[in-house]
């Protein structure tokens, strides 16, 4: 007989005291890590079933034996429990829940300024120069929304937003320039010449006409395309009746551009249907991995799709079966859900907590009505989840399912090759690891231009992939310009001095391999740093260029006296080393270029001076052409710039000298 696990009596007494009410429960292990977050319409029955039954060697049995502590929250309804459960899953990252991670917010298309009332243009001063706030700007945006602007989306990708902006430029000729550029223009830019902007910056269009274009652009984004065409046709006829044929021709060209866009879209998506805002959700499970592909239709336009890959799906079926047993005891006679349905419901519950739900979801799997009711209660917006759709929706779903299959196949291929590379490197360097997923590599590179704006980068490889959230850049200062050895010494000392002390106290873990981009010289510098810090020299390897600096001929140089090794041009281990090194180089050089550009334009140094904001900085740079020219100018010359007083000019002169 299998021995039943013995639980802490205190924990069992807490389970026995639970109320028969809806709520959410959390299980913790001995390290305080969250194991599982669940919801229940009856906390007492649901939680007790975990501890009263022998789960054997299942994944749930493995989880239950690790539970040492429990927390519960009682709520008013099952809908509230469902929402709280998924909020906690996203926040706590429990080990045994299906989890969707999204490290990026969705992009939006932004129209600056609030909507004009009754078609009236924003207020302006008669006879005054055009002002940026009067003429709305269309822009790509990612972040928290503000009430003073209008936002359309979310969009599945930056590309989809930029395509929409291009359409608005072609059809409605809305401006995309920054306010500082707008306010300082004296003649139209190239976009006006190629008929992508109506040049409001120099008064080539009135505020009333521009506001009408903005209103039509809004209606286009909302899918009111036929209404726009009708309104433009009436406007063209009014101009013609007044014998204003130039204006009538402009409107005719606008109608032609809009018709061309609509025709192209109808060809791409098989005809413009009645759906304006729809999300299409398709799920594919294979090889222990899953992909949910989300395709978006907004304003009747198919904007593209975006794949999501959940973690911990291997535990989902076991938990669902256990929950189904409890529900069956309550005489609800549930139907067993497929893994695909469980993954899709987890995605819907977690995704639409933060993102507005469109009126229609087209789904590849049936969705629990209780989940829909909970989201409706939370958002206050009614929506329908349609399974087995027809006609246009069927075409959209087929496309989303095909993309889900392709994305999952790509992931499995990438992971398979990455795991093979990790294994090859571990074997080549004789790294003793029980779990290759735990292999952690940190790589350093130095970048500068003739000693200017020196930066060091540190990139991290772990769990068979690059961990971009753990990348770090270091500004290198106090060294002789161009001294890469001193730069490497500084970055390694800053990186590992505190980490070494924490590792000795078992509060941190050192990497299994430290790569430096360079040969014997850089490795010698790393050896000195590690010796001073009391760290293992066997961790260090330098990536030395081969003969003629040809790719594929690199050799590894070690700090502990081992002979350098050549992995081979086609070696999987060398491919991984090259991938990590190239990523360190890319990360270092992009940071260096940004720092160098900031120094050369003076954007940071000028704005550090009291009284200099973006507008005055733009005026100074426009007048003198760059920071060096400003620094070469006298206080008298600086005072000739509009908005710069004599006192401020002297302050600028002092700051730059």
* Separation of alpha carbons 531 and 513, rounded Å: 16
pLDDT at residue number 283: 94
How do beta strands 441-449 and 513-516 pair?
parallel
Tens digit of pLDDT for each residue in 391-420? 888 988 998 999 999 998 888 887 778 888
Q: Per-residue confidence at 333, pLDDT binned at 50, 70, 90?
A: very low
Token code pair at residue 440: 């952690």
CB under 8 A, 24+ apart: contacts of 147-151: 147/114, 148/113, 148/114, 149/110, 149/111, 149/112, 149/113, 149/114, 150/110, 150/111, 150/113, 150/114, 150/115, 150/218, 151/108, 151/109, 151/110, 151/111
Instruction: Say whether 436-598 and 278-408 share the same fold.
Output: yes
Which of 241-255, 421-435, 542-556: highest mean pLDDT? 421-435
Mean residue pLDDT of the chain comes to 81
Residue 244 has pLDDT above 50, yes or no: yes
Percent of the chain topping pLDDT 90: 13
What are the DSSP calls for 468-497, one per residue?
Answer: GGG-EEEE--SS-TT-HHHHHHHHHHHHHH
> Peptide bond preceding 423: is omega within 30 degrees of 0, i.e. cis?
no
Residue 264 has pLDDT above 60, yes or no: no
Q: Per-residue confidence at 548, pLDDT binned at 50, 70, 90?
A: low
Q: Where are the domains of the chain?
A: 9-92, 107-269, 278-408, 436-598, 602-656
| CATH number 3.30.420.340 is the correct assignment for the domain at 436-598 | yes
Percent of the chain topping pLDDT 70: 83
State the DSSP code for 436: G
Q: What is the mean pLDDT of residues 493-502?
A: 87
**Angle, alpha carbons 463-91-439 (nearest 5°):** 10
Token code pair at residue 218: 């809004």
Q: Which CATH superfamily is domain 9-92 in?
A: GIY-YIG endonuclease (3.40.1440.10)
Comparing 120-134, 153-167, 277-291, 561-575, which segment has the lowest mean pLDDT?
120-134
Residue 270 has pLDDT above 70, yes or no: no
Reference 40, options 52, 23, 26, 53; nearest CA is: 23
Q: What is the mean pLDDT of residues 68-75?
A: 91
pLDDT at residue number 608: 66
Which of 318-332, 463-477, 562-576: highest mean pLDDT? 463-477
> Higher confidence at residue 327 or residue 305?
305
CB contact set of 201 (below 8 Å; sequence gap of 6+): 130, 135, 175, 177, 181, 182, 183, 185, 188, 189
Residue labelled with tokens 């809004």: 218
Q: Where are the alpha helices (DSSP H) in 9-131?
A: 9-16, 43-52, 59-65, 78-92
Beta strands in 129-191 (DSSP E): 138-142, 150-152
Residues in the chain: 657
How do beta strands 360-363 and 278-286 pair?
parallel
Chain-centroid distance, C-alpha 63: 32
Tens digit of pLDDT for each residue in 271-299? 445 567 899 999 999 877 899 999 988 87
Question: Side-chain half-sphere of 474: how many Cα atoms within 13 Å?
Answer: 21
Residue 207 has pLDDT above 60, yes or no: yes
pLDDT at residue number 607: 65
Residue 331 has pLDDT above 70, yes or no: no
Given strand 278-286, what is the order of strands in its sheet? Answer: 301-308, 289-298, 278-286, 360-363, 384-387
pLDDT at residue number 125: 47
* Separation of alpha carbons 374 and 86, rounded Å: 11
Give φ, ψ of 283 to 5 degrees: -125, 140
> Higher confidence at residue 218 or residue 364?
364
Comparing 27-36, 96-105, 119-128, 476-485, which segment has the lowest mean pLDDT?
119-128
Residue 506 has pLDDT above 80, yes or no: no
Q: Where are the alpha helices (DSSP H) in 505-538?
A: 520-533
Residue 257 has pLDDT above 80, yes or no: no
Whole-angstrom Cα Rg for the chain:
31
Tens digit of pLDDT for each residue in 210-236? 988 898 888 877 777 667 777 767 767
What are the DSSP calls for 61-79, one per residue?
Answer: HHHHHT--EEEEEE-SSHH
pLDDT at residue number 271: 47
Residue 266 has pLDDT above 70, yes or no: no
Tens digit of pLDDT for each residue in 90-106? 888 888 888 887 656 77
State the DSSP code for 4: P
Q: Which fold has domain 602-656?
A: DNA polymerase; domain 1 (1.10.150)
Residue labelled with tokens 């941190």: 508
Is the pTM higher than 0.85? The answer reads no
pLDDT at residue number 25: 93
Residue 28 has pLDDT above 80, yes or no: yes
CA quadruple 436, 438, 439, 441: dihedral sign: positive
Q: What is the mean pLDDT of residues 116-143?
A: 68
pLDDT at residue number 595: 61
CB contact set of 187 (below 8 Å; sequence gap of 6+): 202
Is residue 600 a contact partner of residue 620, using CB atoms and an 8 Å limit?
A: no
Residue 322 has pLDDT above 70, yes or no: no
Q: Per-residue confidence at 528, pLDDT binned at 50, 70, 90?
A: very high
Tens digit of pLDDT for each residue in 601-615? 444 467 667 778 778
Tally of CB atoms within 10 A around 609: 16
| CATH number 3.30.160 is the correct assignment for the domain at 278-408 | no
Tens digit of pLDDT for each residue in 336-363? 678 899 999 999 988 888 788 889 999 9
Which helix (H) or strand (E) element contains residue 363?
A: strand 360-363
Pick left, alpha or beta for residue 402 (phi over 0 → left; psi -120 to 50 → alpha; otherwise beta): alpha
CB contact set of 330 (below 8 Å; sequence gap of 6+): 41, 42, 45
Comparing 446-455, 476-485, 642-651, which segment has the lowest mean pLDDT?
446-455
Residue 460 has pLDDT above 90, yes or no: yes
């Amino acid at each position: 007989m299998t021995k039943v696990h013995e639980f802490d009596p205190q924990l069992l007494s807490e389970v026995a005291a639970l109320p028969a009410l809806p709520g959410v429960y959390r299980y913790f292990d001995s390290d305080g890590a969250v194991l599982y977050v669940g919801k229940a319409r009856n906390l007492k029955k649901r939680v007790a079933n975990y501890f009263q039954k022998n789960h054997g060697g299942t994944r749930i049995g493995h989880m239950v034996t690790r539970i040492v502590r429990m927390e519960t929250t009682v709520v008013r309804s099952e809908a509230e429990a469902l929402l709280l459960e998924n909020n906690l899953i996203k926040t706590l990252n429990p080990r045994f829940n299906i989890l969707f991670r999204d490290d990026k917010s969705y992009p939006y298309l932004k129209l600056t300024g609030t909507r004009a009332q009754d078609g009236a243009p924003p207020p302006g001063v008669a006879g005054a120069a055009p002002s940026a706030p009067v003429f709305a700007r269309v822009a790509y945006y990612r972040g928290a929304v503000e009430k003073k602007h209008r936002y359309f989306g979310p969009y599945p990708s930056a590309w989809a937003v930029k395509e929409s902006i291009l359409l608005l430029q072609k059809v409605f000729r809305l401006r995309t320039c920054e306010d500082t550029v707008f306010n300082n223009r004296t003649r139209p830019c190239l976009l006006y010449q190629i008929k992508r902007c109506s040049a409001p910056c120099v008064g080539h269009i009135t505020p009333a006409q521009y506001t009408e274009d903005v209103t039509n652009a809004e209606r286009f984004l909302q899918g009111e395309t036929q209404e726009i065409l009708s309104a433009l046709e009436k406007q063209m006829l009014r101009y013609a009746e007044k014998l204003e044929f130039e204006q009538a021709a402009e409107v005719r060209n606008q109608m032609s551009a809009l018709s061309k866009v609509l025709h192209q879209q109808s060809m791409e998506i098989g005809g413009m249907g009645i759906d304006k805002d729809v999300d299409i959700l398709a799920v594919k499970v294979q090889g222990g991995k899953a992909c949910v592909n989300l395709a978006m239709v907004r304003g009747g336009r198919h904007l593209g799709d975006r794949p999501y890959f959940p973690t911990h799906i291997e535990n989902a079926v076991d938990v669902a079966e256990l929950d189904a047993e409890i529900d069956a005891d309550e005489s609800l006679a549930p139907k067993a859900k497929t893994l695909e349905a469980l993954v899709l419901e987890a995605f819907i519950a977690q995704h639409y907590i933060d993102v507005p739900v469109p009126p229609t979801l087209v789904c590849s799997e049936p969705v629990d009505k209780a989940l829909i009711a909970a989201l409706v209660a939370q958002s206050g917006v009614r929506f329908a989840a349609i399974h087995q759709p027809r006609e246009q929706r069927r075409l959209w779903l087929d496309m989303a399912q095909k993309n889900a299959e392709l994305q999952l196949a790509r992931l499995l291929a990438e992971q398979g090759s990455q795991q093979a590379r990790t294994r090859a490197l571990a074997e080549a360097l004789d790294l003793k690891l029980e779990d290759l997923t735990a292999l952690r590599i940190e790589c350093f590179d130095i970048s500068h231009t003739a000693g200017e704006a020196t930066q060091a980068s540190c990139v991290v490889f772990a769990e068979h992939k690059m961990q971009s959230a753990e990348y770090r850049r270091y500004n290198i200062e106090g060294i002789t310009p161009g001294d890469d050895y001193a730069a490497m010494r500084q970055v390694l000392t800053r990186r590992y001095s505190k980490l070494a002390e924490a590792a000795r106290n078992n509060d941190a873990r050192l990497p299994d391999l430290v790569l430096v981009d360079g040969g014997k010289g850089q490795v010698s510098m790393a050896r000195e740093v590690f010796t001073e810090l009391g760290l293992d020299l066997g961790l260090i390897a330098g990536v030395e260029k081969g003969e003629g600096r040809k790719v594929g001929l690199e050799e590894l140089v070690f700090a502990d006296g081992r002979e350098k090794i050549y992995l081979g041009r086609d070696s999987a281990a060398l491919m991984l080393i090259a991938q990590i090194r190239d990523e360190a180089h890319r990360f270092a050089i992009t940071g260096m270029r940004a720092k160098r550009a900031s120094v050369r334009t003076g954007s940071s140094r000028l704005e550090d001076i009291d009284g200099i904001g973006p507008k005055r900085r733009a005026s100074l740079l426009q007048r003198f052409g760059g920071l060096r020219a400003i620094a070469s100018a006298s206080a008298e010359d600086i005072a000739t710039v509009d908005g710069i007083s004599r006192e401020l000019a002297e302050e600028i002169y002092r700051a730059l000298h």
